[in-house]
Homo-oligomer: A and B are copies of this chain.
Amino acid sequence: MASSADPDELVASTDAQHPANLIPSLCAKFWTLGWVTGTGGGCSIRQGDLVYIAPSGVQKELMKSTDIYVLSLSAQPQPPSANQRTYLRSPPTFKPSQCTPLFLAAFTRRRAGCCIHTHSQWAVLVTLLLETQGSHVFEINNIEQIKAFPRTASSETGGAPSNLGFYDTLRIPVIENTPHEEDLTSFLEDAMDRHPHTCAVLVRRHGVYVWGDDVRKAKTQAESLDYLFQLAVEMKKLGIPWVSQIPRVGPDRP
């Protein structure tokens, strides 16, 4: 793929599943969901050592493969927040995304294959509701959709994923927002360390970062989380608590 000296070949492919084609089609879909309104939010895919990232300030539903940055994960300076990143390929008219170090954190600390950042209003409203309680973690249980989330990190189970059960409680940490998005990196990494099984971190008054082993898993978890955030806001409006004790029904087989 990088056999040629021409960096533009890194984003030139007729395969719809190539990251340079997949990021624009995902972002267009996310735009219709209200996740990347007003050029906010973003998406990055890792394929082996290569990382593909949407640029800053692009209209997400209009992105093209030629807008994509490409960098080599192993060739980045240490510490990764040094802001002296080198790119294998840069688009002619954009700036790198401020989300870059946050995406890299998911790729290096969690070996993620895809990371999605949304400004979804449901995520923001959940962080605002938690703020009124001084809370730093979103918790919800006894909802079928939480089965979409891993109970353990995939590295622990050697590839056989174990997901949350219906009676389990999903916990997503919330970090405070910083004036500059890249300054979120150390707080995101801390939250990853404190919640080793989480696949997402909420950012107060800002949005959410969600990652997964591959595009399908990252997208499924991002959709399922947004579903739960919206449901949680509606439950709040209707006076229904997010965490409850309900009687168990049926066998709880392994």
Q: Which of A's residues lie within 8 Å of B, judged by CB?
A: 34, 37-40, 57, 59, 119, 121, 124-125, 128-129, 131-132, 142-145, 148, 165-167, 176-180, 183-184, 187, 203, 205-207, 216, 219-221, 223-224, 226-227, 230-231, 233-240, 246-253
Q: How far, in Å, is A156 (CB) from chain B's closest CB?
A: 20
CB-nearest residue of chain B relative to A121? B231
9 A-B pairs whose Cβ atoms sit less than 8 Å apart in the complex: A37-B223, A37-B224, A37-B227, A38-B148, A59-B219, A119-B227, A177-B249, A179-B253, A180-B250
Shortest A147–chain B CB gap in Å is 9
- Which of chain B's residues have a CB closer than 8 A to the CB of A231? 121, 124-125
Q: Which residues of B contact A57 (CB under 8 A)?
A: 220
In the assembly, what is the distance between CA of A40 and CA of B221, in Å? 11
Q: Chain B nearest CB: distance from A237 CB in Å?
A: 6
- Further contacts, 19 of them, CB under 8 A, given A38-B148, A119-B144: A37-B227, A38-B145, A38-B227, A40-B145, A59-B219, A121-B227, A132-B240, A144-B177, A144-B203, A144-B205, A144-B206, A166-B179, A167-B179, A176-B247, A179-B251, A183-B251, A184-B250, A187-B250, A236-B238
**Contact A148 B39, CB 8 Å, known A128-B238, A129-B240:** yes
* B178 x A40 contact (CB < 8 A): no
Residues of B within 8 A of A143 (CB): 124, 205-206
CA distance A37 to B145 in the complex (A): 9
Instruction: Give the residue of B119, B144, B237, B251 whose beta carbon is less than 8 angstroms from that of A145.
Output: B119
Docked CA distance A249–B174 (Å): 14
Which B residues are in CB contact (< 8 Å) with A235?
A: 125, 128
- Report Cα–Cα, A38/B231, bound state, in Å: 14
Q: Is the CB of B253 within 8 A of A180?
A: yes
Contact of A238 among B119, B129, B183, B220 (CB under 8 A): B129
Taking the closest CB of chain B, its distance from the CB of A17, in whole angstroms, is 11
CA distance A250 to B132 in the complex (A): 21
A34 and B226 alpha carbons, distance in the complex (Å): 11
**A149 closest partner in B (C-beta):** B38
Residues of B near A236 (CB, < 8 A) are 238
Is B59 within 8 A of A216, CB to CB?
A: yes
- Closest chain B residue, CB of each to CB of A184: B250
The verdict on A40 contacting B224 (CB below 8 Å), with A166-B179, A238-B128 known, is yes
